[in-house]
Amino acid sequence: MGKNKFVFIPAGSVTTPQGFVASGITAGLKVSGKPDMAMVGSTVPANFAGAFTSCKFAAAPVILDRERVLQQDRIRAVIINSGNANACTGKPGYENAVKMCEIAAREMKIKPEEVLVSSTGRIGVQLPMSIIESGIVKAVAALSADGGPVAANAIMTTDTRPKATAVEVELSGGKVKIGGMTKGAGMIAPRMNVPHATMLCYITTDAAIDNKLLAQFAGNGADSSFNCINIDGDMSTNDTLILMANGLSGISVKAGTEDAEIFYAALLALMQQLAQEMVKDGEGVTKFVTINVKNAASASDAHKCAYAVSNSLLCKTAWFGCDPNWGRVIAAIGYSGADFKPENVKLDYNDRPVVRDAMDAGTPEKELAQLLKERDFTVNIDLGAGDADFTMWTNDITYEYVKINAEYHT
């Protein structure tokens, strides 16, 4: 398996680890008639952790899940609907989120508090509970160890393709598996916290891991994956990451051990792949752009700089037009709030020098324009102010992005 001690599993999903089941069905929430409800379950109680949006208008499912992460030791399932966010719906919305858990628990013959809930879609509309109830009944009946792929399809909104993967990890006691699925193509600039269109992510493992360590993995992993992407600068009311560990492999991962380091490396690789796939499938996206900031005065400065460039509409539209207009990048660096001396900053596109000594580095514009015609390219920024680094993944903004969001049903 190489020095990383893990391999990606072809066609892997949330049901690749032992003891996990999933389903994806059409409840009737979407006008399009496409699948709109999914479920992920464990055949035995699973330890769990979660990370959620830091938006103050957090949706009802997020509020409920935050409570359960703090109050519950184990869960058995997550019920997910797309097409309606159940956000900004007040007390009735929260009660409906609770009701979704109760219906799922009734059908699975488990306790309501053993169920989490997620929603994505239009904000400010109450859930049609008759449709929701019949959908949950169908989703529970359809649960299957082969249901990972259809579940990944059912949670999509403006996504063009499902996003799922899995890895197998070699630990000292044997092999464990980690599976995951995510959705999100717009309204993506997560800044998720451990408790304390939308990004939803569900990760499963058959390793035995306690909730405290899972929370550490979820928080650190989110900071180095989903919190490093920026599609359009808009944070959702519903961003959710749920990590479940049911222990059916019989192999434990303990804090402070080499196994914990190996497991986390595999988990992070899976999370980063899912995060990058979200950017590549962003609404109308034609470019995948890596922004590397190095030698910043502090970690905060590195993040400020990368985020400013990734969030600049002028940069993102220039990338769409294959225009090497580096003045837009420099301007974003300049207003980012990072501390540096302009004459020390170096800017490269891939390995081609763009800016040196606060001036044009002399690389012919035609060369830079040709480079920006590639689907993937990198913006390298050296602030020359310290030793802190940060990487973000972002994209261009296109005519299609405006069309999708102008026509999104309201």
DSSP assignment string, 141-188: HT-BTT-HHHHHHHT-SS-SS-EEEEEEEEETTEEEEEEEEEE-SSS-
Domain presence at residue 327: yes
Answer with the one of 263, 280, 297 that is the final residue of a domain: 280
**Residues 256 and 218 occupy one common structural domain:** yes
Check residue 195 and give its pLDDT.
Answer: 42
Domain presence at residue 1: no
Domain presence at residue 26: yes
Domain that holds residue 364: 288-407
**Residues 334 and 215 occupy one common structural domain:** no
* Active-site annotation holder among 157, 165, 198, 240: 198
Q: Which amino acid is at 243?
A: L
Check residue 32 and give its pLDDT.
Answer: 86
Q: Is 265 exposed, middle or buried (0-12, 13-18, 19+ CB in 10 A)?
A: middle
Q: How many domains does the chain have?
A: 2
Check residue 197 and give its pLDDT.
Answer: 47
Check residue 2 and give its pLDDT.
Answer: 45
Answer with the one of 280, 308, 323 that is the final residue of a domain: 280
Global pTM exceeds 0.85: yes
**Residues 324 and 187 occupy one common structural domain:** no
How far is the C-alpha of 244 from the C-alpha of 257, rounded, in Å?
20
**Residues 10 and 101 occupy one common structural domain:** yes
Contact status, residue 120 vs residue 85, Cβ threshold 8 Å: yes
Domain presence at residue 380: yes
Check residue 208 and give its pLDDT.
Answer: 98
Check residue 338 and give its pLDDT.
Answer: 98
Domain presence at residue 308: yes
With tokens 């598996």, the residue in question is: 177
**How many Å separate Cα 88 from the centre of its chain?**
22
**Residues 90 and 166 occupy one common structural domain:** yes
Question: In 10 A of CB 174, how many CB atoms?
Answer: 10
Which CATH number characterizes residue 191's domain? 3.60.70.12
**Residues 177 and 304 occupy one common structural domain:** no
Closest CA to 38 of 21, 27, 19, 25: 25
Question: In 10 A of CB 254, how many CB atoms?
Answer: 11
Check residue 196 and give its pLDDT.
Answer: 36
Answer with the one of 280, 305, 340 that is the final residue of a domain: 280
Check residue 406 and give its pLDDT.
Answer: 81
Answer yes or no: 53 catalytic.
no
What are the backbone angles phi and psi of residue 31, rounded to the nearest 5°? -60, -30
**Residues 73 and 44 occupy one common structural domain:** yes
How far is the C-alpha of 258 from the C-alpha of 158, rounded, in Å?
40
Contact status, residue 383 vs residue 305, Cβ threshold 8 Å: yes
* Low pLDDT (below 70) residues in the chain: 1-3, 185-198, 233-234, 408-410
**Residues 270 and 311 occupy one common structural domain:** no
Which CATH number characterizes residue 349's domain? 3.10.20.340
Check residue 221 and give its pLDDT.
Answer: 94
Domain presence at residue 377: yes
**Residues 223 and 324 occupy one common structural domain:** no
Q: How long is the chain?
A: 410
**Residues 74 and 215 occupy one common structural domain:** yes
Q: Is 127 helix (H, G, I), strand (E, B) or coil?
A: coil
Domain presence at residue 120: yes
- Expressed in percent and rounded to 5, the helix, strand and coil fractions of the chain are 35, 30, 35
Domain presence at residue 130: yes
How far is the C-alpha of 14 from the C-alpha of 289, rounded, in Å?
28
Q: Are strands 37-52 and 200-205 parallel, antiparallel or unpaired?
A: unpaired
**Residues 273 and 146 occupy one common structural domain:** yes
What would the two tokens of residue 32 be? 């399009």
**Residues 154 and 79 occupy one common structural domain:** yes
Check residue 283 and give its pLDDT.
Answer: 81
